[in-house]
């Protein structure tokens, strides 16, 4: 049984604890779907103020919905479309304070106000993107971005 209860006083400690919990969850398991499923659940349980947390996988140059927590979402996203597609096309994290101001944002859930998308890259190849949505505008800070980049690095080594 896994029973992670991560409640840190500050963001750096929270993400350090989250990273070590994720390393423990994926250790010795090569199945990408299983690891994404546990990662989505861990992130959802740990980070406050989210309405969606999950993955889109790179399937032949198109993003396809992977394991997630939250409401049912769009299934396929082309590279370059929306926030996830921008992360996929540029291989750069996308931190969007107001999704309604982002050109081409794909509104899967009208409750989403801000979004953080981090590409998961190994050897220069996009494997997937980690996508977090929040109902609060400007929810994601630079520390959230840095913390999620670290989570993406752990997952890139686990897939």
Under the rule (CB under 6 A), what is the footprint of ligand SME?
52, 73-74, 77, 82-85, 105-106, 108, 112, 115, 131, 133
Work out how close the CB of 158 gets to ligand SME at its nearest, in angstroms, rounded to a whole number: 22
Name which of 42 and 83 has its Cβ closer to ligand SME: 83
- CB nearer to ligand SME: give 21 or 96: 96
Q: How far is the CB of 121 from ligand SME (least distance, A)?
A: 17
Residue 108: CB minimum distance to ligand SME, A: 4
CA distance 94 to 89: 11
Name which of 17 and 109 has its Cβ closer to ligand SME. 109
Q: Measured in Å, how far apart are the chain's first and last C-alpha atoms?
A: 22
CA distance 40 to 89: 22
Phi and psi at residue 85, in whole multiples of 5°? -65, -30
The answer to whether 71 and 109 are in contact (CB under 8 A) is: yes
Q: Which is nearer to ligand SME, 19 or 106 (CB)?
A: 106
In whole angstroms, how close is the CB of 24 to ligand SME at the nearest point?
A: 26
Alpha-carbon span 58 to 66, nearest angstrom: 10
Q: How far apart are CA 52 and CA 61, in angstroms?
A: 23
Taking the complex as a whole, the smallest distance from the CB of residue 68 to ligand SME amounts, in Å, to 7
Residue with tokens 């398991």: 29
**Does residue 118 sit in helix, strand or coil?**
strand
40/73 with CB nearer ligand SME: 73
């Amino acid at each position: 049984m896994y029973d992670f209860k991560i409640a840190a006083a500050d963001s750096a400690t929270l993400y350090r604890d989250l990273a070590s919990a994720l390393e423990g969850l994926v250790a010795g398991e090569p199945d990408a779907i299983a690891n994404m499923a546990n990662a989505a659940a861990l992130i959802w349980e740990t980070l406050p103020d989210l309405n969606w947390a999950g993955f889109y996988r790179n399937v032949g140059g198109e993003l396809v919905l992977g394991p997630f927590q939250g409401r049912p979402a769009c299934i396929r996203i082309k590279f370059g479309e929306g926030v996830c597609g921008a992360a996929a096309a540029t291989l750069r994290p996308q931190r969007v304070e107001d999704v309604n101001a982002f050109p081409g944002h794909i509104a899967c859930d009208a409750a989403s106000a801000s979004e953080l998308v981090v590409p998961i890259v190994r050897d220069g190849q996009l494997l997937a993107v980690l996508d977090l949505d929040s109902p609060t505008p400007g929810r994601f800070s630079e520390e959230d971005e840095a913390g999620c980049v670290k989570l993406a690095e752990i997952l890139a080594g686990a897939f």
